Structure 1
Amino acid sequence: MSTMHVLYYDENYDYAGEEDIDSDTLPPNSTDVVPDPSIISPRFDLKKNIWIEAATDEYKESIKPEPPAPNEVEALQKQVADIYYLLAMGGS
C-alpha cells in the first residue's frame, strides 16, 4: 500500500477538498488529477479527466481586487505632471 494525494468532488463535480490517503485505489468521487492553479472554482470533468473552470465571468470580476491607491510620491508626481500640462497648454 502506498500514500497518494486525492482531490474530492461533490455530486455536482465541484472541488470538495483533498487529502493524502494510504491506499492504492481512489475512493468514490475523487481523482489524483491536480487542477491548474489559475482555476478559481474547479469542477471535475469526468469524461475528459480534467478540472475545468466553473466560475462565471461575473464572479471573476466581482473578486478582482481594487487597484491600490497611489502612494504619496505617485500622487505628487501626478500633480506635477498636471501643472506642467496646464503650463504647456497656456496656463489656464
Structure 2
Amino acid sequence: MLIGKVVGNVWATRKDESLNGLKFLIIQQIDYYLDKEFPTFVAIDTIGAGIGETVLVSKGSSARKIIGKSDVPIDASVIGIIDTIEVEKAFKER
C-alpha cells in the first residue's frame, strides 16, 4: 500500500468493457518520510474520494480484489481516505 493525493480525474468514453462503471482518479504518491517526489498514476475509486484528498492505495494484483474480479486490467485501487498522518523522523548523529 502507499499514500497519495488525488490530483485529478480521468474520463474515458472508450475503454475495455470490464472497466465500465468505474471511476478513475489521478494519484500523486507521497512520501512523508523522505520528502521524495513520484510520478502520477491512475487508480480506480470505489469509495468516493475526491480531488485534494489524501488516500491509501493498493497496487498490483491485490488492487483487483477490491472489486472482486481477477480478470480486469486494474493496477491500482483507492482503498481508503486518510484523516491524519503522523510521521516521526529519526535523526542521525554526526
Q: Give the TM-score taking structure 1 as reference length.
A: 0.24
More strand by share: 2
Compare relative contact order (CA 8 Å, sep 6+) and give the higher one, 1 or 2: 2
Larger Rg belongs to: 1
